[in-house]
Amino acid sequence: MDRSQLEKLLADVRAGDVSPADAANQLAQLPYADEAARAVIVDPHRELRTGVPELVYGASKTADQIAAALQALAKHNGGAVATRVDADKARAVKALVPDVVFHETARALTLGRTPKRPPCAPICIVCAGTSDLPVAEEAALVAEFLGAPVTRIADVGVAGLHRLLARLDDIRKTDVVIAVAGMEAALPSVLGGLVDRPMIAVPTSVGYGVSLDGLVALGALLSACAPGITVVNIDNGVGAAVAAVKIARLAVRP
Amino acid sequence: MDRSQLEKLLADVRAGDVSPADAANQLAQLPYADEAARAVIVDPHRELRTGVPELVYGASKTADQIAAALQALAKHNGGAVATRVDADKARAVKALVPDVVFHETARALTLGRTPKRPPCAPICIVCAGTSDLPVAEEAALVAEFLGAPVTRIADVGVAGLHRLLARLDDIRKTDVVIAVAGMEAALPSVLGGLVDRPMIAVPTSVGYGVSLDGLVALGALLSACAPGITVVNIDNGVGAAVAAVKIARLAVRP
Amino acid sequence: MDRSQLEKLLADVRAGDVSPADAANQLAQLPYADEAARAVIVDPHRELRTGVPELVYGASKTADQIAAALQALAKHNGGAVATRVDADKARAVKALVPDVVFHETARALTLGRTPKRPPCAPICIVCAGTSDLPVAEEAALVAEFLGAPVTRIADVGVAGLHRLLARLDDIRKTDVVIAVAGMEAALPSVLGGLVDRPMIAVPTSVGYGVSLDGLVALGALLSACAPGITVVNIDNGVGAAVAAVKIARLAVRP
Amino acid sequence: MDRSQLEKLLADVRAGDVSPADAANQLAQLPYADEAARAVIVDPHRELRTGVPELVYGASKTADQIAAALQALAKHNGGAVATRVDADKARAVKALVPDVVFHETARALTLGRTPKRPPCAPICIVCAGTSDLPVAEEAALVAEFLGAPVTRIADVGVAGLHRLLARLDDIRKTDVVIAVAGMEAALPSVLGGLVDRPMIAVPTSVGYGVSLDGLVALGALLSACAPGITVVNIDNGVGAAVAAVKIARLAVRP
Amino acid sequence: MDRSQLEKLLADVRAGDVSPADAANQLAQLPYADEAARAVIVDPHRELRTGVPELVYGASKTADQIAAALQALAKHNGGAVATRVDADKARAVKALVPDVVFHETARALTLGRTPKRPPCAPICIVCAGTSDLPVAEEAALVAEFLGAPVTRIADVGVAGLHRLLARLDDIRKTDVVIAVAGMEAALPSVLGGLVDRPMIAVPTSVGYGVSLDGLVALGALLSACAPGITVVNIDNGVGAAVAAVKIARLAVRP
Amino acid sequence: MDRSQLEKLLADVRAGDVSPADAANQLAQLPYADEAARAVIVDPHRELRTGVPELVYGASKTADQIAAALQALAKHNGGAVATRVDADKARAVKALVPDVVFHETARALTLGRTPKRPPCAPICIVCAGTSDLPVAEEAALVAEFLGAPVTRIADVGVAGLHRLLARLDDIRKTDVVIAVAGMEAALPSVLGGLVDRPMIAVPTSVGYGVSLDGLVALGALLSACAPGITVVNIDNGVGAAVAAVKIARLAVRP
Amino acid sequence: MDRSQLEKLLADVRAGDVSPADAANQLAQLPYADEAARAVIVDPHRELRTGVPELVYGASKTADQIAAALQALAKHNGGAVATRVDADKARAVKALVPDVVFHETARALTLGRTPKRPPCAPICIVCAGTSDLPVAEEAALVAEFLGAPVTRIADVGVAGLHRLLARLDDIRKTDVVIAVAGMEAALPSVLGGLVDRPMIAVPTSVGYGVSLDGLVALGALLSACAPGITVVNIDNGVGAAVAAVKIARLAVRP
Amino acid sequence: MDRSQLEKLLADVRAGDVSPADAANQLAQLPYADEAARAVIVDPHRELRTGVPELVYGASKTADQIAAALQALAKHNGGAVATRVDADKARAVKALVPDVVFHETARALTLGRTPKRPPCAPICIVCAGTSDLPVAEEAALVAEFLGAPVTRIADVGVAGLHRLLARLDDIRKTDVVIAVAGMEAALPSVLGGLVDRPMIAVPTSVGYGVSLDGLVALGALLSACAPGITVVNIDNGVGAAVAAVKIARLAVRP
């Protein structure tokens, strides 16, 4: 149940269309939809508290747990997303819940339709190399699920600066930038000196040797001398999308 | 020269009040105000490109370099800030430039008046312990210098949860939250589950032993399960303030 | 042979029911029950020295070694536990010793009945997410094997604080708390400010990127500002259970 | 205000000796004793919630802040402790508050008399080398401040095993053991195989080179194969003392 | 060709049994026995320079390369050893060279007979847990290949101190001690305080979580306060054996 | 004695101007000029072997040792350089050897005149911020001492891309580039995509928090996706200069 | 299109053989050859900017992406290389593009003929052990693809110093040295004191335990006291080859 | 009391020169010579158990504690050594105990005469740079105190290989080698391939940047491919000396 459903319910109560007792019953069901005997407890009214519904993190869950969580969340919210689901696990979930859709590049599953969301300014998601695409797509898919218009710009690494400069106008048409970058992660630094938008940087685990599975990219981003760049965990496309949407909603708040 | 000065100049040209040649001369001076024979090159039109003027990072500069940079920036912008200036270095700068003001808790120097800035929504800066105050104050001073109204909330660590809950209403009156936290850095996680504002977390180097000068706090913040929290470098109050202001300006954009 | 068996034997000797020679023979068998030709030497009188019998750590042992160790320990103690046994290895052990029982979530095998133990106060095992359940269940199973009544509370992460607050009364009905938490591991910090029980925190290897397989959770727990929290190794449910039982026995010592 | 003061107040109310209004006034003062204009907010009723009063962590506070915090806490509780205070800072605090007492080895300040505490079983504090004495003494002083009888055993490192074995009887006369050890930190492992008491291990930053300021000792303690040892942060005598007292109180609970 | 073969040849030359030209020819063949077209160049006269023949490190070699190296070395020296060979690779080598013998616990292959070696004093190899056996056996097999009499003592971890004390006499009958230990690696520290023999410690990668694949054991051993313990790389049974043999040969040098 | 002095000597021998015996005497003096009773052994004919004379690394030497080494080297070579000499130590050396010249920004001392060197193509030394100047100057001073013409370009960080682009032509007039960069160290990546010269990157220890004293900059440079960048140790201006000179000499080799 | 093709085109324009309009058309096609619908954008005129064509990094690409990239690059340049392609992926690419050639030791694919390159001085690639061969071969293959004559020298580790000394003359016949070394990586240090050529060191991930997948070799190389050695990422044969070729081209520049 | 004093006492008892009661009294005094009221407990009969007397580690002790320990040990043993004593602390000790002698390079204090020790074969201590001298001298001084003849060889780093080769004969005249090396620590690897003696390597904290205070040197030594090298902690000259003496005594054991 998101805020608009809640407001609808309360308006119905005020209008006399729903009795306080029935409303109470409906609200009483909210807190914990206990699915699958304690193993997966979804939190359907998280959206009410934080503006963002629960998203299923698939990596540490079994196909059974993902299926149960998606169904529980979709029942309450109209739609649900699970991320970090590889192709094998996706197949197993689909065998249990045939309606899920698998998004291969983003390594994500969706169930149901994206529910109506608050208005949101456009977000630009920029990435440096083809190896960063899965993380960029995860961010894009989640941002769109949360109601954001998304502009995708790929393969604009700093070793080919002209490509990046050629896309600056597209970037400036959006209000928030997510920059996805692995290896030395110089893209957000360069971009941070060229645009005045809030920018969220996502380090990726692309690379080898001293890249340390993304720790060097993370460190480089946090050390960037262009002030105002904020950072999320390595490969954390979901976190970047949620942060960007919260910001982009402010920009079109009535 | 910020954008409003530039637009004023161009309007004067259009109106015939300034000749194109004179305007060209003025603009020609912009790029590099070479101060102190190459050692300190300030970048006065950075505000034009990125929305935020250059801020002087004092830690790796001598008193001479800080004084020169503050004067150069204040001449162009009307006011300037230098951070990471300890009491001894502050005294040395004040001997060179008597007009600077030292902000002891924030470990910062200001020169001149804060110039007029774009409108900005209110920002809340929350910190967990008295040891985190210097970083929180650095963020507050820079945010105010950039034009943001700031609400300060101190000493609301999670080990005394009631203190934090008692201040939730104050936090919710602002549009962006900066959460400053050292040691196990649990504050932003808890807060992230209670408010729906964009939140920027600043780990601090407070702690000892396994705290590793803030690396554990940084790691904990990046690992936080409350999605949508973004993070800046350890003790980086300046970066958090710049990011928060960029977001808060969006919220009141006409 | 635990202390009560030993005291029984010595009482029998004093009462003349067992000859000193026979007692000597029985005691002589104690020290090293050499199983399987030197490869697995179990230590059956460890319980006498430390209050806790030997528990089989399955991860670095073959199915043969686990089977032999469980049988040797169960023969002397009446029951035995092996932890860190995955489903495949469990099957292999069961093929050798059909009486073993596999506990899937806890990834543990038990053989025989839990022997009578000293009295023990109740222990509460709290965990933050479904991903932490295996570690929490390992702790619960071992604590119960050692004679403790266990209260399980799952999915009370700090990002949904209301869930945790709703369970405080249940937690306060026990005398020792084991808090299992991965990622940023904020749960024990928050709980440590709310209850006055001894608390043992178990970091888990849940998470990705900068979580570093649990090292950040471990560091955060050790840095927690709520004093009095003690910590065990990452994913070490066994160690937490043993420590909690030693404490809980003190609480009901006659 | 600790629990006995609170119970006294409520008993007075019940007996009619104190009016509810006056009691309310007294209780209203509890929450935040704002000292020194926001900079140091002490939490005098923490003891009510967690069983342990606030202890002042001196390392990141100025002499002014320590003095103010000690006075505020001593006023409410009758006595107060500040730890991690070096000799120079101690002198500065003493100049402000002449009644403080400096404990040089423990690097701690006390003010006022230790208030009456709940009953507590005896605690043994064992350390391996003379270099570990400051941490052991910090633990001892805090444990005694919290009401515990303390047995100190020093210089029983495993490289001279006979010393340790000679003291086992003394250790077994207590109910909880704090083992302080730096370098390879083998003492708690050996002791853990010899006694059945709950044991809390404190790694110290003694050592050089690969000792990494105590990180190796910490890792060794967390990896110890003797189960049931729990660990606190490097050099964290305070945390070990608080944990030990919470356990030792259980052992003599009526 | 080892030193005794060389001395024999030179004696033959002196005696007139071998012409200088023929001797030169034989010696000329020594330097590089180029096997398998450059891919594996064995160094058969390494024994002459360093007292120890080349040992084949199997982990980073293919079955083909191991087979070629073993044959080349055995042809010159009479016998050869390859370590770090898992069961699958061992089978593949055996298919190529049916005479090789696989030593499963030691994960090693031998080919041919152990050649005659210089006299060598007895070596004791002590290990703490069954998980350390593969490393201990690798050391034992290599030491015996190099001519040392070896005493094996297993499962004498410090958590069961009586087991270790019971074997001290056996240890003291040897001249050099190799102590193999994982996890907290306390065994060599304790042993170092009890015996006066040169001791080489081998950390193992046994353990989990904060054990960091043996890095903590390594750090603990290097930090051990019992002076005179020297250390080799994690799991490096070969290195310990070679070092021990070099020492043990000194002890019986005529 | 460099190669030209050696060739001169041999030519003199051939010409009969120097007797073989005298030449032998001169050459015999070469190997080890034992200065100051074993403590400082300079290696004057290193230039003959490696093309580069010995440079004195001042950080771990006393003023006495630096003075002795400079004098010994200057006597043989005509000139000498010592790096990593802070102002205090420089004063102490100057008191011993008044002819030394202190270069404050480069933290270096020179003695005597730069001897004639092989021809060398021009080198460009680029740095990103004023904080990187000491390392850049160390590289410049050493490169000039070795005979290279040096172009210095400062303050061209990627956060102000226009500054860098404005200097591309100057950079392209040289044959080898040394890029000095701290923090996120993005400069060499960007530059590597714009110029085709061999480029040596020097990470600096500028920065704080997660910058880890230059380790992140080092990691970022080694991970840079622009291929062909090579890297030296953190702050190692000397190493970069020596490498650049070796390359630049190739470019003008007759 | 490489520089010679470009110069040819411009010469044709000057000569009147190609009209400016046609030339413009050809040049307009250069920037982005969009292959495979955005997923792989090759950069065919990178050679123009940086002197080196794009090389396909296969590790993070699918067989489809590698095939598309090789074809796109070969179409423009005449030939293309993909590195870090294991045998399975190579088979999959060959199924798509039968003309590719797989180089097993180098783990690389080539397509088409090596295009004509600028003249290049000879490069020597030296490696210490057979385990380092794959990295050395990757470097050799890329260097040859870029037009360099390559001398390969294998198995000259410092533990058998005579082998290395025997090859010094071969090394000195080349102008640039690439030294590939894992484990303690001492080879480049020793070589750096013996030859005066520019030397690029490549650490490899060979080793175990404390070798940390090549991080220790990397650290040792960067710490080498022989000045003038530069370093690339662990196992980065490509980077070393590109850097060496840029240098070697300078040596024969007309 | 060392073994010879003990044997003398027992011989006196046997001969009737000392009564058993008097002998018992003398022996009873042995175990713990409690000096300075618990703060410094020396272990005078450690030599009996381990062959080596207690050596005072000065770094973590006050001047008072060092003075007391030296006097207590010298009283029982005839002589004593304290290491890691800087010049200031040495002065303070000398003020308390004027008979101590300060060894500046070794940073050590000695008191009294070196007592008679068991026979010991010669030891060679080799170091690479002048910066390694303090560690080498610490090892030499302790080895001589324990009765070993010591050959010192300095400044034979691998960057100047000829110096090392020139000293091989001197090294081969000794029976045990201690190799002290910082930075990339290649010396022991090279030496390990040239001599057949037992070799103990001591990494030093010399270096900067990625040298990580000796951790890279330590890692390189443990990874060395020349088998049979054993390693002690960074800068641990004492440990290397004790290990070498234990070995060298074996070589001359009657």
Note the pLDDT tens digit of each residue in B191-243: 988 888 999 999 999 888 878 888 989 999 998 877 889 999 999 999 999 99
D181 Cβ neighbours under 8 A, 6+ residues apart: D127, D128, D132, D157, D187, D188, D201, D202, D203, D204, D217, D221
Please name the chains neighbouring H, where neighbouring means 3+ C-beta pairs under 8 angstroms.
Answer: D, E, F, G
Residue with structure tokens 């109601």?
A147
B232 Cβ neighbours under 8 A, 6+ residues apart: A222, A229, A230, A231, B200, B201, B202, B239, B240, B243
Beta bridge partners of E123: E150, E176
Residue A143: predicted pLDDT: 96
Q: Which residues in chain C have their CB less than 8 angstroms from residue A65's CB?
A: 130
State the pairing for strand pair E79-83/E108-112. antiparallel
Give me the half-sphere count of Cα atoms (radius 13 Å) on the Cβ side of residue E21. Answer: 0
Beta bridge partners of F172: none
C192-206 pLDDT per residue, tens: 888 889 999 999 998
Q: Which of G50, G54, G195, G230 to mutate to test the interface with F (most CBs of F within 10 A)?
A: G230
Identify which of H194, H234, H242 has the shortest CB distance to residue E228: H242
Residue B7: predicted pLDDT: 57
Check G225 against H160: CB less than 8 A apart: no
Check G225 against H183: CB less than 8 A apart: yes
* CB contact H209 to G (< 8 Å): yes
Identify which of A39, A61, A214 has the shortest CB distance to residue C209: A214
Our CA dihedral for A35, A36, A39, A41, rounded to 10 degrees, sits at 0
Residue E32: predicted pLDDT: 34
Check C220 against B216: CB less than 8 A apart: yes
G3 Cβ neighbours under 8 A, 6+ residues apart: G47, G48, G51, G118
- D215 to chain B: closest CA residue: B210
Considering the entire predicted model, what is its pTM?
0.85
Check E189 against D158: CB less than 8 A apart: yes
Whether residue B8 contacts residue B23, with contact meaning beta carbons closer than 8 Å, is answered with: no
Residue F90: predicted pLDDT: 96
> Cβ-count burial of B15 within 10 angstroms (0-12 exposed, 13-18 middle, 19+ buried)?
exposed
Q: Which residues in chain A have their CB less than 8 angstroms from residue B253's CB?
A: 251
Task: Chain E: give the shortest CA distance to residue C172, in Å.
Answer: 30
Task: Chain G: give the shortest CA distance to residue E50, in Å.
Answer: 10
Indicate whether B48 pLDDT > 80.
no
Residue F28: predicted pLDDT: 40
Residue D131: predicted pLDDT: 84
End-to-end Cα spacing for chain B: 22
D175-195 pLDDT per residue, tens: 999 999 988 888 998 998 888
Mean predicted confidence (pLDDT) in D161-165: 85
* Residues of chain E below pLDDT 70: 1-14, 16, 18-45
E runs forming strands in chain D: 33-35, 40-42, 56-57, 79-83, 101-103, 108-112, 123-127, 150-153, 176-181, 199-203, 229-231
Residue A37: predicted pLDDT: 34
Whether residue C182 contacts residue B224, with contact meaning beta carbons closer than 8 Å, is answered with: no
B154-202 pLDDT per residue, tens: 878 887 788 888 899 999 999 999 999 988 888 998 998 888 899 999 9
Mean predicted confidence (pLDDT) in H160-164: 83
Residue F226: predicted pLDDT: 80
* CB contact B226 to C (< 8 Å): yes
Beta carbon pairs, A and F, within 8 Å: 114
Identify which of G32, G39, G59 has the shortest CB distance to residue A208: G59
Indicate whether F221 pLDDT > 80.
yes
Q: Which residues in chain E have their CB less than 8 angstroms from residue G208's CB?
A: 59, 233-235
> What confidence category does residue B8 fall into, taking pLDDT thresholds of 50, 70 and 90?
low
Identify which of C228, C239, C251 has the shortest CB distance to residue D250: C251
Q: Which residues in chain C have their CB less than 8 angstroms from residue A31's CB?
A: 162
State the pairing for strand pair G123-127/G176-181. parallel
Q: How far are the Cα atoms of A27, C237, D190, D204, E185 from residue E214, in angstroms, in the given order?
A: 53, 21, 20, 20, 9
Residue A32: predicted pLDDT: 35
Residue B160: predicted pLDDT: 79
Indicate whether D130 pLDDT > 50.
yes
Beta bridge partners of H109: H82, H102
For residues E13 and E21, give the distance between their C-alpha atoms in angstroms, rounded to a whole number.
10
Task: Chain B: give the shortest CA distance to residue C24, in Å.
Answer: 50
Cα-Cα-Cα-Cα dihedral sign, residues H110, H114, H118, H119: positive
Mean predicted confidence (pLDDT) in C43-64: 82
Q: What is the DSSP string of A113-147?
A: PPPP------EEEEESSGGGHHHHHHHHHHHHHTT
Residue E25: predicted pLDDT: 47
* Residues of chain G below pLDDT 70: 1-14, 16, 18-45
Whether residue A57 contacts residue A44, with contact meaning beta carbons closer than 8 Å, is answered with: no
- F156 to chain B: closest CA residue: B41
Indicate whether H28 pLDDT > 50.
no
Task: Chain C: give the shortest CA distance to residue E227, in Å.
Answer: 28
Instruction: Pick G35 or H94 by higher pLDDT.
Output: H94
* CB contact E96 to D (< 8 Å): no
Collapse the DSSP code of H114 into the 3-class scheme (helix H, G, I; strand E, B; otherwise coil) and give the result: coil
Q: Which residues in chain D have their CB less than 8 angstroms from residue H215's CB?
A: 210
Residue H171: predicted pLDDT: 94
For residues E132 and B42, give the distance between their C-alpha atoms in angstroms, rounded to a whole number.
62
Whether residue H230 contacts residue E200, with contact meaning beta carbons closer than 8 Å, is answered with: yes
- The closest of C112, C138, C115, C114 to C125, measured between CA atoms, is C138
Task: Chain H: give the shortest CA distance to residue E28, in Å.
Answer: 19
Q: What percent of chain D has pLDDT over 90?
A: 52
Residue D139: predicted pLDDT: 97
Length of chain A: 254
Check H154 against F214: CB less than 8 A apart: no
| pLDDT digits (tens), chain A, 254 positions | 445 555 566 666 667 676 655 554 454 433 333 333 334 556 666 777 778 888 999 988 889 989 999 999 998 888 999 999 999 999 999 999 999 999 999 999 999 987 788 899 999 999 987 789 999 999 999 999 999 999 999 878 887 788 888 899 999 999 999 999 988 888 998 998 888 899 999 999 988 887 888 898 999 999 887 788 999 999 999 999 999 999 999 999 87
How many CB atoms sit inside 10 A of residue G74's CB? Answer: 20
Q: What φ, ψ does residue E114 adopt, rounded to 5°? A: -65, 125
* CB contact F79 to G (< 8 Å): no
Beta bridge partners of D123: D150, D176
* CB contact E129 to D (< 8 Å): yes
Residue B224: predicted pLDDT: 85
The encoded tokens of residue A168 equal 């600056």
Indicate whether C158 pLDDT > 60.
yes
> What confidence category does residue F6 fall into, taking pLDDT thresholds of 50, 70 and 90?
low
Indicate whether H38 pLDDT > 50.
no
Lowest mean pLDDT among B143-157, C163-177, D115-129, H156-170: H156-170
* CB contact C73 to D (< 8 Å): no
* CB contact C62 to E (< 8 Å): no
Residue B44: predicted pLDDT: 61
The CA radius of gyration of chain C, in Å to the nearest whole number, is 20
Q: Which residues in chain A have their CB less than 8 angstroms from residue B223's CB?
A: 233
Report how many helices (DSSP H) and strands (DSSP E) chain G contains, helices first: 11, 11
- F227 to chain A: closest CA residue: A159
